Structure 1
Amino acid sequence: MAILEETYSKLQLLSHVPPLRRADDYEKFVNEVGPEVAQVLDEQVTLEQQYRYVSTPQHEQVGIGFDGDQALPDFETLDDELRHSTRVVCRMLREAPAISERLQQAQSEGPSGSMRKFLSTFLELKSQTFQKLSTSVEEEKSKEDWFLEISAREEKASQQLRQLQKEIKAEKADRERNVSARNETIQKLRDELEYIKSATLEEEKTLEAETKASEEADNLAFTTKETTLQDELTRLTNELATKRKENKESEDQLRKKKVKYEGEVATWISKYDTDMEEKDREISALRLIYEEEHKELYRLEDYFSKLMAEREAALAEERKKAEERARQQAQMATLSKAATMVQKMWRGKVARRELEKKKSGKGGKGKKGKKA
């Protein structure tokens, strides 16, 4: 119980220290308590701000009163430093009650709501501890089991908290790397944008100068061309007036010729009609003659066709007779040739016989002479 009483007393002293901020009218406060005490309290405030920032989820760190881009120790180091600083502040307040009174006067509203709630909870815990000391062994065992269960839950929650804090730290490091990379990209883009702006400005100046020179040249060319075209327009207008006058005279002459030629054409048309009527009568007479002669031609063609047929028949008969005579003559020639050949063969045979007889007679006479 003495430990709890002492702890409660220390908590009451610490409740007078403004959380996460300096005391109001800080310069007056420094003069009253001294620079060393003010420095200790400033370190306490700084550690509390850092601890709050590190233990806050990353998406909730914006606007909590601390610059998150500064390099901070890890959670365990901050926890140890904050514990040590809190003990130093508590010891300082116990040794110098005037400082505690000055801090209490500076806080017109008293301790914060969370601190008052914590003190109330601590009083309740102290009361429960007193009851625990005055209860029996069985009740003590039951409450001890309940306390162990609560402690186990708290330990598990603490482990989860440490794991989450490690994840937060890793996430924060990753965020810092991403922020650094994005800052480099942004700076690079800014440099490129500045270069583009500079180049664009130079190009604008160059284009403006070129445009001005081109505009002046175009204006000069336009003025020159306008003068030339105006002169050309005047010349063409005069030529048009002259041409109109000439065309008017030519038109009058052509109209006179037209009237003359129209009269001649009417005369020629009348003559053409008369000639055509006469020619039509001649054609009709010739057509009658043609029809008569065509009938006569048809009759003569029929007559000569019959004559040609009869002549062809006679010629065919004559050809047959000539062929028969030629065939007979060929047969007679063949027979005559064969008879001649037979006669030649017979004569040759008779001549050979005569020759053999002559040879036989001469041989008999010769043998008889030798024998005599």
Structure 2
Amino acid sequence: MASEVLTVEPLYHGPDINRIPLRSQPAPKPANPPKPLVPSKSKLTTIEAKRIMSVLDETIYKVELVTLLSYVASNPEAMEGMLGEGIMTAIRQHEDLCELLLETTHRLQERERQLQEEEETEEEGWLRDRRFSLRLQKASLLPLMQQVRDSTKDSLRLLLSSPQASSFLQMQTQGRSAEAQSFIDSLIELRGFLFEKLLTSPMEAREKAQFIQDVSRRNRRNQEMIDILENELAVGMKRRKAEVEKENFVIQELKNHLHQVLKFSENNLARTKQEAEKQQKADARASQARLAKIQQDILLLRTQFNNLVMENREAEQALRKKKYKVETEVENWIQKYDTEMSEKQEEYEDLEVIHKEEKAQLEELRRKHDVLVEEFAQIRTEREINSKKRMEAEQEMVRMARAATLIQAVWKGYLVRSMLRSKKKKRSKAKGKDKEKAKGKGRGKGKGKK
């Protein structure tokens, strides 16, 4: 899913590259192509081939325009006057959808990476839920991808309907990225291959296959020659190895000779050492003579040292007197300092006692304040509870009054209806009696006539 989404990313902000020809023309030929591989025709003759090339040219043209949409969106001030408000609106909507799709894809990739890191530490059930949620979020990308495709089609449709805007946008090649240009170059290369394929007739295709077979046979012969040369190389390597072994033997002999030379040098070194010991004895005798002379010099210098010591002692006595005077002055200053510091210390202790008393008073006031705050909170809570109870009681009274009113109204209606029904019954009974009396009178009159 992530790979599909990443293919939708706009390609832009690349270096300037040459324009791409869109007319039907053959691909550039190499400098010296092999004759059997060159098509005999240079133009397409069948309508099907021309249609195929026109479709591919139109595709390249549309890819050129699509790869510059994001450049237009990033430079709206310079492009709006040339492209028109409708095209700029469609391009901005397309860019917003692309950015939303990219942000969503990056966020899903980050969550998937975190889920992979947590698979070793978390529980299986929790990971299953996370995976299911991630799959649902990936599935929700499909409508967004479809919207990006639709917005791309709409932008292309608007650009193709305005030839002037399309021509101006094609000239902005500096906004195309290197990846987009590489893709377009690949399409052009594919166009060249397809053009050459369409120009090649069946006879030329057979000749080309025959040429490839000839090249393959030549390659096989060259391979056989390479194998022969490799065998010769192996023989030469063996010969070279034998020569190297001979040279190693010579080197070993030279090492033995060098060992003998080292032994000779050791003997020479021992002889040199004996001569050095003789020289050392001679030097020892000469050093004893020099030592006697040096001892005489030491005696002379010791006398001079004693004289200097006497002079330094006198100077030391004078310095000691000066030091005693300085120490006396320092001791007086120290006593003065101690006196002043004792006074300051007493003052500090008095201030500290006052500070402790004020601090104790502050703590007492804080405790009282905390008690008052708690009491105030309790009183406020009680007032809120009482107000709620009072409001509930008032609401209950209102409901009871409404219920009583409703019950009274229903009861009054019931009484009125019952009174009306009783009156109707009395009236119906009176009418029945009147009818019976009228019938009795009629019967009596009939009998008298007979």
- Larger relative contact order (Cα-Cα within 8 Å, sequence gap ≥ 6): 2
